[in-house]
Chains A and B, each alone.
Chain A
C-alpha cells in the first residue's frame, strides 16, 4: 500500500509520523510505504510569527529541519507537486518525477492574498510570513506615534490572531512608554469584536479599558495610500498612520491550477475528510473547505483521525472513526495573560476570562510544538 502525503507543515508532518508509528511493522516488511513531498526543507512554527512581529522571538527560533522531525521510515523529498493526476492515482513534481499512490493525503496549507485588495500590499504591514513580520517589527521600532489601524479579510488562518496582535501591540507600546502617543484602532468583519461571542464579551470591555477603539462590520475593500485611509465593503472609512493587516487567504496556487478547489479550498467531507467524489484522497489542515478554524490544532486533530483511519485501512480494510470537528485554540490577551477555546461540530466553546496560568501554558507550548509535530504529544 503506497501512501503519499503532500505538504510537510503541521498537518502533513503529524500525519506522516502518526502513520509511521502505527504501521511500523508494515513499513519494515514492505507491505506499506509512506512518502512525504514538501516545498521546503525547513519547518516553520507559524504561531511564532506573532511574537516575531513584536520582537519577542527571533527568526531562528521559528525553524527546525523538516527531516529531523520525521520518523526515519518516512521517505521525504523536498520536491513540490505541480500536477495532481487524480484519475491515474499519481502526482508529478517540480523535478519531473511521477509518484503513484494508493492513498493520497493533501495538506498544502493556505496563504494570505494581499494582492486582491487595491493598495494593500504597498501600504500595510503584515506578519504572516517571516519577511513581513521582521519588516513590521522594524516599522514598529521606528514608529514615533500616531494612529495604528488593524484591518482584515476573511477567511484567514488563526482566527485568534487579530485580537492577539491588538493586545500585544498595546503591551508593546506600554513597555516602550509610548501609550500616550499611540492610538490603536481595531476593525473586525462581523458585528462584534470577535466571532466567538464569549470572547467578544470580554474583549470589547477590555479594549474599552485599555483605550483601544473599534469598529465592526468592516471588511477590507481598498487602501488609499496617498490619503492614508482604509475603506470597507460596508461603506466605512478610517484614517491611519500605520496600517496592519491580515489579508483574506486562499489555498495554494497548485490546488487552484489543478482544479481541485475554487480559491484553493478543496471540497472535503466533514467527517470522513475525503475529498468530495474521491475515496482514496484525503484532505487536512487549512486547505479543506470545512467551516472550522484554519488553525494548527485543527490540522493536528484531523491528522490524528486520519492516522488512525489510514492505518486501519491498511490493517483492516476500512476506516474506524469520524472526525468530530475538534479545534483547540489559545488566545493571548496581551503579553502575560491568555485564555483558550475548545469546541467541535456539536459543542460550542465556553472560553473563560484570561489568566497568567494559561499564558505560561501557551509559552510552554511554543517549545512543545516540536514534540507535537513529531507526534509525541
Chain B
C-alpha cells in the first residue's frame, strides 16, 4: 500500500474534488490519498462523492485552515 498527497490548496477551478477524481486514476486499489484543501466545502463534498463512487473515507482533519481528507481507493 502506498500513500500520496493531492495538494489542492488554493484550487478553485477545477477544485479539490476534481483533483481527487483525477488522482484516483493514478493509484492502485488499496492505496491511500491525502487531499489537502483550503476550501471547507471539501469536507462534505469529498465524502459525498466517495460514498457514491464506493471508495473509503478514512477521516477528515482541519489544521491551520487546511482540511486533510484521507481516502482509500476501494475498487
Contact = CB atoms under 8 A, between A and B. Distances in A.
Contacts, number: 79
Contacts of B13: 159, 195-196, 292-293, 327, 329, 341, 343, 349
A233 B11 CA distance: 23
Size bracket, chain B contacts: 20 to 34
Interface in A206-244: 217, 219, 233-235
Contacts of B9: 291, 345
Contact of B52 (A197, A235, A270): A235
B15 A195 contact: yes
A346 B13 CA distance: 12
- Chain B interface secondary structure, helix, strand, loop or mixed? mixed
B49 A217 contact: yes
B45 A248 contact: no
A374 interface: no
Nearest to B27: A262
Main secondary structure of the interface of A (DSSP, over half): loop
Contacts of B28: none
Interface of B: 6-19, 21-22, 25-26, 41, 45, 48-49, 52-54
A-B residue pairs, 3 tightest by C-beta: A345-B10, A291-B11, A234-B52
21 contacts: A154-B21, A155-B14, A190-B45, A190-B49, A191-B17, A195-B18, A196-B13, A197-B41, A219-B53, A234-B49, A248-B25, A270-B10, A291-B6, A291-B9, A291-B10, A293-B13, A325-B10, A329-B13, A343-B12, A345-B9, A346-B10
